[in-house]
Structure 1
Amino acid sequence: MELGQRILFDLFLLFSFGKLFGWLAVRLRQPPVLGELVAGMIIGPYALGLVGHPGPELIAQLGSYEAAKAALDGAYHTVSELGLIFLLFFIGLETRVEDIFDVGRRAVVVATLGVALPFLFGYGFMRLTGSTEVEALFVGAALVATSTGITARVLRDLGVIRTTAARVILGAAVIDDVLSLLLLAVVAGLAGARRSTPLDIVVLVVEALLFALFVVLVGTGLVRRYGPHLRETPLVNVPFVVGVGACLGLAALAGFVGLSPLVGAFLAGMVLAEARAHFDIESAALPVYELFVPFFFVVTGTQVDIRLFLRTEVLGLTAVLTLLAIAGKFLGCGLGALGMEWREVLVVAVGMVPRGEVGLIAVSMGRALGTVPEEVFAAVVALSVLTTLLVIPILTRLYAGPPLPEIFVEPDDMAQTGYLPNLGVGRPMLGK
């Protein structure tokens, strides 16, 4: 089988198994990303070996096993990176600029403490155990971001999306996303440049903030001025063309100025979220999302060496990192919610616990740069699954008592909650 044919066949397997296991996960009332991760682990080179292992013909064609393996891995990486870019674009579409200023003081405090404590816990633990500074930074970043999609789904299924605690969680998620991606951009920049002095950190933070400010100010101005007139253009499917073009263009621009392309993709989504009044970009670009994004999670699953979990030290590392991830979010977000009724504090603390895409992005980037070892990579993937599985029964139990206080929510605001990510990955619910 020639290289092109083999790549196409492997992409077919990755996509098909990802969709199948994602569907099975939904049937089990779990987010599809968990099924996609498991699918990758099963068909990957460390289990069934359906993908990732070049055959004799491909080895003979390219001259060596290493060359054949590199060719396959390069193809997987490319399609996975595209999925990652569109993933961040859709997360941005759920984060309007005004949302950042409308979340309320309590949500800001919850998000800030919920970012700071997990990062310090993860970074501190890795440094104490002898890890390099860059490895510790990636692990700290991996423990930071909340995946509130599964929490949002539980809250909606329970009919409690109007409660004060639920609104604090959803508001804090906006700030959490922004802070987490800013932190990830800085960590990735430090690792890529192999520098981490205080001045380097300040420079990268300033660069990221200036780039974000420029894109948001210019982009929102253009959208508000020309958005109403885009339907008058002769282009077919204007929302699709504008959405995908802006996503790829700003991702490339971010890369040109030394930032992660993911920052540009996220900002593209956030800017185009201002165009909701004129056209539905989410629905128009959804086919691209459904095509590419599952590849990121399935390919990530194929990279997990499940044999590592037979080693007690890896199981121990997984347990410790999971406990630190839970404790950091629980304490940070719980402290931020103090002043609310005690059961509301618990709901906010538990609701911010799940980890997902940003944590996986962080360790995947660290692994690709050679700074995060396989054992740590596997442990972080496992903790993402474990923290997600814990949330559903605990939140259900917390809401089983007397009704919690509700707040008035404008109809337009409630309409937004109909489009919520599954495990915080920008995946619309669509009746799932």
Structure 2
Amino acid sequence: MFPFLSASIVHLPDLITDLGLILITAAIAVLLFRIMKQPLVLGYLVAGFLASSEFDFFPTVKDVNSVKVWAEIGVIFLLFSLGLEFSFKKLVKVGGTASITAFTQIITLVTLGFFTGQFLGWSKMNSIFLGVILSISSTTIILKTFDELGVKSQKFAGNVIGSLIVQDIIAILMMVLLSTVAVSQQFSGMELVQSVLKLIFFLTIWFVVGIFFIPTLLKKAKHLLTDEMMLIISLALCLLMVIFAANVGFSPALGAFIMGSIIAETTQAEHIEHLVKPVKDLFGAVFFVSVGMLIDPNTLLEYAFPVAVLTLIVIFGQSISSSIGSLLSGQPLKQSIQSGMSLSQIGEFSFIIATLGTTLKVTSDFLYPIVVAVSAITTFTTPFMVKFAEPFSVFVEKKLPKRWVKRIQLYSSNTEEIKSLSNWQIVMRSYLTQVVLHSIIIVAIILLSSTFILPLVENSKFGNAIAALITLIILSPFLWALSLRRVAVKQVQILLEQKKHYGPIIMLVLFRIALSLFYVGFILNTFFSAGIAAIAFLIAIGSYILFPKKLHAVYHKIEDHFMTNYNDREIKKENKRQNTLSPWDGHMTEFDIAKESNLAGKTLEELKIREQFEINIASIKRGEVVINIPLRTERLFPGDEISVIGTDKQVKEFKIYLDKNEIDVAEKVVETDIILQKLELKNRVCIGKSIRESQIRENTHGIIVGIERNGKRTLNPESHLVLEESDILWIAGEKKKIAAFLRS
């Protein structure tokens, strides 16, 4: 009856059927959890549990090993995305407040977790992993909770986010240390020190080399790269660093995180983050589903008591320790309690660390499902902890003795004085940074030279001399910087004015020179015998003395290139701010027109936005089409993105107007071809005409957004204003057309 059924059935690989099952189950689960307004991570965990062999009602995943491979890829892309959101500048800006909060929490929870594991009769390795697992809060869960509750703009949220940044860095470090401890199966202080030094060495090299080359590569190739190519290059760089990290003995996740943090310093960071997000979401979902698949209900029943105990430790231990840490850093009582109660959960990093223990086969099978259960419970409690943090802080403040509250307020107000650095501290920090950074670069170049250059030339007659010469030439600017480059000039000058500091300053300079000479001798000794090395040493020193200006110029060229790449993203943002009519407090802001907006379908002339709010609409983005300097007859449609130019006050009033008209507002940085150009009207034919009669709009396809007359500045002038010879105009429009108008 149905002949097509008799045809041979194509057999799909288990990998495809398993992936399909995982994604279908995950889709259903997250839809249900979205309706219940619960975190999606929980939905993925439930989906994994339903797709596991422990639950027979639904189809079961056949090849668990393949899913584990997908999950490892998920961890890599999760960490890569976290790196893209992270910035080394952010870590510097976080300052002591978030650092003290994070360190207090981690030290307290690692200690509590370890002793709790010992109390429960677990092995030392289980207890160590447990302590680390319980100490790291969940960035994903906290950020989603903040968004849902609308508290991300509150002051305490900045401390929480800063603390999460510090925690992520410490978590990466602890993963490396745990791997060392797991392999050696013992607490060797020397091995831990070696691991930390090795980590610092490779992190510095990766970061310096990455910042020096990758932003330049992306900048030079920007005009050639489509979104598809940009995505492929980004993922390729990520996996390349993953391979490097694995080859030198570090976690692949560390490599992914480092590459993400390097790309985060480029001008393409936001764009790449947007492109990578679907990939991260896909593999992240597979990772969390695979975590859910490892939930064993029998294990949970058997270990119900440890789950309950550890849940209480996470909720109360993290809340109290983070609150104390925030207080110690000088935050007010209310904000400290809000910060502490927000950090009371574990999440993605805890899963990753638990996975590390399972992969290394140093933790027991019961630890993983216990961690998942604790994470699931604390994920449910997080929104309530954040919501009730403020009323609870008011309650605590009322119950505490008044003298305690006054002392906390006094301590908080005096912390700024404690944070200030003396001249000696600034000088020592600068000298230490100089010595450590350049020493790492020099040692890395020597190792690379002896590994790759020397084997190529050592069999030739002058092979060693050639290798040594190449190495010294490459190293020469860094050796000059290590020995003679001036740092903290202002502070050193102040200290030298006091005779008692003269000796220590001279000793610091001599130490740097001696260290540079040591590296030169070490290089030559690597390539020559002792006698020849001594002669070559004198020749090398003579060269450095004869060509100091040349070395100075070369080093500064290298440094300028590095600093340009390092600061390029911020410079671009600053240029945008400066290019947004800063003298008038004007700036460009982008708003989205929602589908339900009652402004949709109306022309700009009908809306009279210019007349009502004294702002100009610079562009309308409609899908892939951008309408620059739209005409009055242009209509707004649902989904349009409009860019407006105005002052803070004008934009704020316009935003209120949009909210009343049921528009979803999303302010963001504008990527546009529109520029703001300054124009002096001397000897222009438009003098004596009104703005409308001058035909400037028609000739430049732009609008006059500012005018300066006799020192008085006016933003968005009226079209009937008559232009005078002394006027200075600011025109917003397309770069090429404005340039053509200026040449005419």
TM-score (norm 1): 0.83
Deviates more, 1:241-250 or 1:92-101: 241-250
**Deviation by residue 1:69-98 (Cα, 9 ceiling, x = unmatched):** xxx232111111111111111111110110
Query: Within 5 A, what are the aligned runs for 1:217-256?
Result: 217-233=208-224, 237-256=228-247
Q: Shift of the alpha carbon at 1:170?
A: 1.0
Q: Matched residue of 1:275: which SS? A: coil
Matched with 1:390 is 381
- Per-residue displacement from partner, 1:318-377 (whole Å, max 9, x unpaired)? 011112222332232111111433222211101111211010111122123332223222
CA distance in 1, matches of 2:316, 2:190: 31
* C-alpha RMSD of matched pairs (Å): 2.9
* Identity within the alignment, %: 24
Confirm or deny that 1:210 pairs with 2:201.
yes
Q: 1:4 to 1:116 in 2, by over 3 A?
A: farther
Contact in 2 for aligned 1:189/1:260 (Cα 8 Å): no
8 Å CA contact retained: 1:148, 1:351: no
> Are the structure 2 counterparts of residues 120 and 3 from structure 1 closer, same or farther at C-alpha, using a change threshold of 3 Å?
farther
Distance in 2 (alpha carbons) for counterparts of 1:104 and 1:255: 31
**Aligned match of 2:317 in 325, 328, 331?**
328
Give the structure 1 partner of residue 641 of structure 2: none
1: CA distance between counterparts of 2:79 and 2:270?
20
Kindly tell me the number of residue pairs found equivalent between the two proteins.
391
Q: Which residue of 2 aligns with 1:16?
A: 24
Deviation at 1:147, TM superposition (A): 0.9
Distance 1:236 1:168, change over 3 A: closer
Q: How does 1:107-256 map to 2 (within 5 A)?
A: 107-233=98-224, 237-256=228-247
Match of 2:306? 317
Aligned match of 2:550: none
Unaligned runs of 5+ in 2: 1-8, 395-569, 575-665, 667-744
Cα distance per residue 1:168-218 (max 9 Å; x no partner): 111111111111121122212332454532222222222222222222222
Aligned residue in 2 for 1:366: 357
What amino acid maps onto 1:143 in structure 2?
Answer: L
Instruction: State whether residues 337 and 393 of structure 2, in contact with CA within 8 Å, keep that contact through their aligned partners in structure 1.
Output: no
1:262-289: CA deviations, max 9, x gaps? 1001111111111245761111122321
Residues 159-168 or 177-186, more deviating: 159-168
User: What's the counterpart of residue 352 of structure 1?
Assistant: 343
Which stretch shows the higher mean deviation, 144-153 or 228-237?
A: 228-237
Structure-2 separation of matches of 1:247 and 1:337: 35
| Residue 219 of structure 1: how far off its partner (Å) | 1.2
Note if contact 2:114-2:130 (Cα within 8 Å) is conserved in structure 1.
Answer: yes
Task: State the alpha-carbon separation in 1 of the partners of residues 25 and 125 from structure 2.
Answer: 34
Structure ranking higher in helix proportion: 1
**Deviation at residue 29 of structure 1 after TM alignment:** 2.0
**1: CA distance, partners of 2:214 / 2:159:** 29
Q: Is the 8 A contact 1:111 1:333 kept in 2?
A: yes
Unpaired runs of 5+ residues, structure 1, are: 55-71, 404-409, 414-430
Between the aligned partners of 2:11 and 2:118, the Cα distance in structure 1 is: 43
**Contact 1:46/1:307, CA 8 A, preserved across alignment:** no
SS of the residue 2:217 aligns to: helix
Amino acid corresponding to residue 321 of structure 1 in structure 2: L
Q: CA–CA distance in 1 between the matches of 2:380 and 2:210?
A: 38
Structure with greater contact order relative to length (CA < 8 Å, sep ≥ 6): 1
* Structure number, greater radius of gyration: 2
Mean CA deviation greater in 103-112 or 203-212: 203-212
Offset of 1:21 from its aligned partner?
A: 1.3
Alpha-carbon distance change, 394 to 324 in structure 1, aligned in 2, over 3 angstroms: closer
Contact residue 113 and residue 333 of structure 1 kept, 8 A: yes
TM normalised by structure 2 equals 0.49
Larger strand percent: 2
Over 3 Å counting, the alpha-carbon distance change for 1:193 and 1:50 in structure 2 is farther
Q: Give the secondary structure class of the aligned counterpart of 1:243.
A: helix
